[in-house]
């Protein structure tokens, strides 16, 4: 039996939290009593994720913004500081895909994905680390890599490069944050059931599942539980690492 964590007094920012994995992560931390800032391109308190979080009886801050827009991220951290005075955990979950074969991929298509997934995580991490240092009580940043960041994937030069880049970013922030007890780790999900993967044709989905040793698709909760582990003191001696959440693929 897993004893639930008590995260009362902790503040978590989840980017890209309107749906999918981010929504599940925000709920998982709220279940444990943490106050939650949820952020997405357009997010109001009417969204389901906000209603769910409020039902856990914790404080909620709903924020609209773009992780790739530095000014927007600065405003978000100003609002978090104003409401909570701190940010203990950052889940850099926001991400996009714009797939296409490399020979046809435009530079715009390539850089759009790099900008949101990699540069956006850099901007959010930099601002989070500044607030964590100001508060001076350690912190934890979790980046979102992917199985394709390790392996590459046909039609995903932009996405694979962004997710591989996040592994280097994670190790560097881990080294730079360590003396202030700020940890930085990554998760690398495999094939997870979310709106991002809903667009994949059914036949291809089944072929993907057939290749997974545990013979099932992953669920957002599989990722959220790993993020909960990395975000909290359960992992207090772990930094600069990546947890693969992929049902045993590519072992």
What positions carry a catalytic annotation?
Answer: 159
Q: Are 159 and 113 in contact (CB under 8 A)?
A: yes
Give yes or no for residue 67 binding ligand NAP (CB under 6 A).
Answer: yes
Binding status of residue 18 toward ligand NAP by CB under 6 A: yes
- Nearest Cα to Cα of residue 28 among 191, 230, 237, 215: 230
Closer CB to ligand NAP, 91 or 132, in the complex: 91
- 171, burial (CB in 10 Å: exposed 0-12, middle 13-18, buried 19+): middle
Closest separation between CB of residue 223 and ligand NAP, Å?
7
21 binds ligand NAP (CB under 6 A): yes
List of residues 6+ apart from 137 with CB closer than 8 A: 86, 88, 181
Measured between alpha carbons, how far is 163 from 160 in angstroms, rounded to an integer?
5
DSSP string, 66-99: -TT-HHHHHHHHHHHHHHHS---EEEE-------
Give yes or no for residue 90 binding ligand NAP (CB under 6 A).
Answer: no
Closer residue to ligand NAP in complex, CB, 138/208: 208
Q: Which is nearer to ligand NAP, 129 or 223 (CB)?
A: 223
Q: Is 191 in the site for ligand NAP (CB under 6 A)?
A: yes
Q: Give the integer Cα–Cα distance in Å for 198 and 172.
A: 33
Among the listed residues 19, 109, 111, 208, the single contact to ligand NAP using CB under 6 A: 19
Specify the residue, 138 or 209, whose C-beta has the smaller distance to ligand NAP. 209
What are the b/e assignments for 145-154, b being 16+ CB within 10 Å?
Answer: bbbbbbeeee
- Of residues 5 and 224, the one with the C-beta less far from ligand NAP: 224
Q: What is the x/- site pattern for ligand NAP, positions 145-184, by CB under 6 A?
A: -x--------------------------------------
Q: Which of 10, 15, 37, 156: binder of ligand NAP (CB under 6 A)?
A: 15
Task: Based on the shown chain and the rule CB under 6 A, indicate whether residue 41 belongs to the binding site for ligand NAP.
Answer: yes
Shortest spacing between CB 193 and ligand NAP, in angstroms = 7
Give the span between the Cα atoms of 24 and 219, in whole angstroms: 9
Binding residues for ligand NAP, rule CB under 6 A, total 27
Query: According to the binding rule CB under 6 A, does residue 244 interact with ligand NAP?
Result: no
Decide if residue 68 touches ligand NAP (CB under 6 A): yes
Question: Which residue is listed with tokens 């999900």?
Answer: 189
Alpha-helical (H) ranges within 147-211 are 147-151, 157-177, 195-198, 202-210
The site for ligand NAP (CB under 6 A) is made up of 15-16, 18-22, 40-41, 66-68, 93-96, 116, 120, 144, 146, 189, 191-192, 194-197
């Amino acid at each position: 039996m897993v004893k639930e964590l008590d995260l009362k007094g902790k503040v978590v920012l989840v980017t890209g939290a309107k749906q999918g994995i981010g929504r599940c992560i925000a709920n998982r931390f709220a279940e444990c009593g943490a106050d939650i800032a949820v952020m997405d391109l357009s997010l109001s308190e009417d969204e389901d994720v906000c209603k769910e979080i409020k039902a856990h009886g914790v404080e909620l801050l709903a924020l609209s913004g773009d992780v790739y827009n530095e000014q927007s991220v600065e405003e978000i951290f100003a609002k978090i500081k104003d409401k909570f005075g701190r940010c203990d955990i950052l889940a850099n979950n926001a991400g996009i895909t714009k797939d296409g074969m490399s020979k046809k991929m435009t530079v715009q298509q390539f850089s759009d994905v790099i900008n949101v997934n990699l540069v956006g995580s850099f901007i959010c991490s930099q601002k989070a680390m500044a607030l964590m240092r100001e508060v001076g009580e350690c912190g934890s940043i979790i980046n979102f890599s992917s199985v394709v960041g390790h392996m590459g994937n046909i039609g995903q030069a932009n996405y694979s490069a962004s997710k591989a880049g996040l592994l280097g970013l994670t190790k560097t922030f881990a080294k730079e944050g360590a003396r202030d007890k700020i940890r930085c780790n990554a998760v690398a999900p495999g094939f997870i059931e979310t709106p991002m993967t809903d667009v994949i044709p059914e036949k291809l989905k089944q072929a993907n599942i057939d290749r997974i040793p545990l013979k099932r698709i992953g669920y957002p909760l599989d990722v959220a539980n790993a993020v909960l582990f990395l975000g909290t003191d359960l992992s207090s001696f772990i930094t600069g690492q990546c947890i693969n959440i992929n049902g045993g693929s590519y072992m």
